[in-house]
Amino acid sequence: MQWSDTMALRANCPDDGPGTLTLVLSREPLFFKETNPQPRKHTLAVNFRFTNGQASTHRQHVLHCPQGVLNKHFEKLTQFDTRLNFLSQQPEIVMDSPYFVAKAPLFDGSDDMKAHGFVQLETARVPHPSSRIAHYPLSHSHLIEHPGPVGITSGQLLQKFFPPVQ
């Protein structure tokens, strides 16, 4: 997780028990596990999910630490980052929702896709670029004609490299 994604931060570091760090995140965290760590070299990392999707669903995360472990690290963190220090001083943690916003699908169903001129991949016959015997599921006229970063539209690009078979 990035510290910049932290919306709320609270630490409880009692002298007679385990410490607790509570974080509220604005975005879903990314997960990595160190692989083959070596001194003075960048550590290679792979995507590694160990929470069975819970951390990607819930905004608030609570970490429990053995007594005395959290104290000095939390103090350093808030001492050198004014934003995190400010967040840690807030009287209470307030969230709009305990969950991250679900990503809505672009289209609700295949009828929506067809209405916009899209064809499902499993039913579309898309030719190999080197093939001259081709069936194009959509004509070039169905493409949205917005110039790209190099000033050419997607339709012009397709016509140049993949002209329709007559």
Q: Compute the distance between CA of residue 28 and CA of residue 47 in angstroms, rounded to an integer.
A: 14
Clarify whether residues 22 and 51 are in a common domain: yes
Residue 48 domain flag? yes
Clarify whether residues 18 and 77 are in a common domain: yes
Residue 95 domain flag? no
Q: Compute the distance between CA of residue 155 and CA of residue 69 in angstroms, rounded to an integer.
A: 61
Clarify whether residues 77 and 115 are in a common domain: no
Residue 159 domain flag? yes
Clarify whether residues 26 and 75 are in a common domain: yes
Total count of domains within the chain: 2
Clarify whether residues 84 and 113 are in a common domain: no
* Domain closes at, from 88, 117, 151: 88
Output the tens digit of pLDDT for each of the chain's 166 residues: 788 889 999 999 999 999 999 999 988 877 767 677 778 877 766 665 666 777 778 889 899 999 999 998 999 999 999 999 999 999 888 777 877 776 655 555 555 555 555 544 443 444 444 333 333 343 333 334 444 444 444 455 445 544 555 5
Buried b (16+ CB within 10 A) or exposed e, 79-100: eebeebeebbeeeeeeeeeeeb
Clarify whether residues 71 and 41 are in a common domain: yes
Q: Domain range spanning residue 24?
A: 3-88
pTM score, whole prediction = 0.52
Residue 94 domain flag? no
Residue 102 domain flag? no
